[in-house]
Homo-oligomer: A and B are copies of this chain.
């Protein structure tokens, strides 16, 4: 952990320039709008360590995977998020010398990510090697109101008389840090440079995505447009203008740079130039101030749905807003072709592809903070990939329409970088099924099963029924050769989480079949025909497996074991680890980690979290105490689940500690890796830790349950959730819990075990219970 940034309720603030932290800050101060995103790279030249990152949703490169010796079934490519042409560039020269913070004296540096307004700003005073001094103020945003538009305002104030050269540009000569074979991923097809504008057309290799970048800018001195004609610069991969001006001490030059990014996902390839130029001209006409206002208004709207307020704890407040902010920057739910990459638009690693994180973490967030169509879009995304999931299972030897969803995907095909994960982390199939259940229990939209869900559930249940095999030795069904969510194990047998969710999937598929059969018999018949479903034979095998599944259990400890043989490991605890050895993944060899008892992330506890209603508090407590002691939380997905369970069993300090860890994981760089990008998908877990952990929110069959706790550091906290698209605000103080509902008619909410009627627009106050009753 790493206290560097200034705590603030609404902003992330960096108050000095530390080149050693530049890449980390580039991640943390990233901006995005669901369609495009940009790391906090500098506009001007920077020769220090930097990870340039400009990303477009849905634009990727199928990079050939790297393996020692190829074996059947290995993924052929790893989809890479692409670092796109640099559209933010504004080169600055002072008396002919480049402004470059790696070679200047920098004072009064301040970088601020205003999360309320979605604006990144930066200011500093630079003293050039030859002694010239300037003050720079830079501000930028990618518009939430117009997803193709990025805007920069960049001002230079002369602190001594000097000659200033400003060069706004777009540069297509970029590469990915993460490239398996050091290949270039882009071709630049066209550049054009006019006076005060420019255009660049880029094409991705292999898949031929096209992206058009159009720029227009206005350059002012002391508020008036500079009359001098700019020089146009155009090379095969670059378009820019150069403007020179003399500034006297105290004078200021400002560039307003507008960029439109139009992609072939949205337009015909031949239209891209026209569309991008049209869009940027429109933005230029509207102008900076009005664009900014529209952008802020959108953010105000987002916050009105999704904000969480915490009083009395700035760190906790900043942490949760940072998470909510980045989630909304990454995914807006407007485009059903997109999903949520683990690093969003903030880095290259994990390729911007879709993981089970979406279903297991992001859906619980969006289902409660966004209109239900957003979650539905995420589910349909998987429905559309069902055929590919069946093909994927086929490659691994499964038949009869068994579906194995990929561990990582862009278009439904498996595209991971590591074979062992691909083959073994089959639990992902479970999360995809669970998300359907979770959507329906929140929305009661059972028709979704008939329309889409059931086909997916059948494919998944078929997979499990083939993947589970019968052990004559045990007289039980077993699931061999898996990796659970805890990726610090490899190729284990009978991972408790996997076996649990496998059975749940088969049970739920049977339930769904029955529901659709009775409510939508015609559709049911269609699905049976389409999937060639042998109703009786298949469901009875599912039942047979579920009834006879093996779950490794330790009789003495009364514990379900993470996997077969887990107790053969040396039972050292996370607290026994030397601090200098953590995170162990940066200090230990991989085999040592695999052999150790240490858990990367919630595994058994992940399963208990999902199916909590099946277990009593003592059971949960026993498992929590055992597994939390062995968990090193080196996955970003880990601490939130532990935090929720800690709250569930009344360990509020532990819940708080783990909440901070999850919500400030990136801000405080717990795992020493934020330079690579932010952990976007796990940010949903920070939200879950408050709402489900402290708030105790559960939804069962469409009904809301609350069991709010409050940590002594907090005076009050408040969150909003959507119940069938109507907002409920929950406020918790040490004395009371209050509910304010904005729906059309009264609802029943269970608070601390008692059903309460909540009427629209009437605040209901309930006395807070210090130790909520066991559930």
Contact = CB atoms under 8 A, between A and B. Distances in A.
Nearest to A554: B473
A74 interface: yes
Contact of A71 (B66, B472, B585): B585
Given A66-B66, A71-B590, A590-B423, A473 B568 contact: yes
B68 A417 contact: yes
Given A67-B66, A396-B591, A571 B472 contact: yes
Interface stretch (A158-166, A293-301, A474-482): A474-482
A68 B67 contact: yes
A228 interface: no
Contacts of A397: 588-589, 592
Contacts of A590: 71-74, 419, 423
Interface residues of A, number: 54
A68 B416 contact: yes
A468 to B, nearest CB: 11
Q: So how many copies of this chain end up in the complex?
A: 2
A594 B491 contact: yes
Interface string A381-396: 0000000000000011
A22 interface: no
A78 interface: yes
Contacts of A182: 181
A478 to B, nearest CB: 5
A424 interface: yes
Contacts of A235: none
Contacts of A492: 491
A558 interface: no
B73 A594 contact: no
Given A397-B592, A589-B396, A590-B74, A570 B469 contact: yes
A490 B67 CA distance: 16
A329 to B, nearest CB: 26
A590 B421 CA distance: 12
A590 B470 CA distance: 21
A565 B568 contact: no
A438 B517 CA distance: 71
A72 B585 contact: yes
A314 interface: no
A524 to B, nearest CB: 33
A480 B568 contact: yes
Contact of A68 (B66, B396, B588): B66
Contact of A589 (B72, B469, B472): B72
Interface in A410-463: 416-420, 423-424
A470 B424 CA distance: 27
Nearest to A476: B568
B480 A569 contact: yes
Interface string A480-509: 110000000011110000000000000000
Max chain B C-beta neighbours (<10 A), residue from A492, A554, A565, A585: A565
Given A396-B589, A590-B419, A568 B471 contact: yes
A567 interface: yes
A730 B588 CA distance: 54
A493 B492 CA distance: 10
Given A493-B568, A565-B564, A571-B472, A591 B68 contact: no
A582 to B, nearest CB: 13
A586 interface: yes
Given A71-B590, A469-B569, A481-B595, A491 B491 contact: yes
A567 B471 contact: yes
A549 to B, nearest CB: 13
A530 interface: no
Contact of A69 (B418, B470, B567, B589): B418
A66 to B, nearest CB: 4
A587 interface: yes
Nearest to A349: B69
A65 interface: yes
Contact of A72 (B180, B493, B569, B588): B588
Contacts of A180: 66
A72 B418 CA distance: 15
Nearest to A71: B590
Max chain B C-beta neighbours (<10 A), residue from A396, A481, A585: A481
A492 B490 CA distance: 9
A598 to B, nearest CB: 13
B568 A396 contact: no
Given A395-B589, A564-B565, 19 more contacts: A67-B67, A67-B68, A68-B418, A69-B417, A69-B418, A72-B586, A396-B591, A423-B589, A423-B590, A423-B594, A469-B569, A470-B570, A472-B571, A473-B554, A474-B568, A481-B595, A490-B490, A491-B491, A491-B594
The 10 tightest CB contacts between A and B, nearest first, are: A73-B589, A68-B417, A423-B591, A473-B567, A66-B66, A71-B590, A471-B568, A68-B418, A397-B592, A491-B491
5 contacts: A68-B78, A181-B182, A419-B590, A469-B569, A478-B568
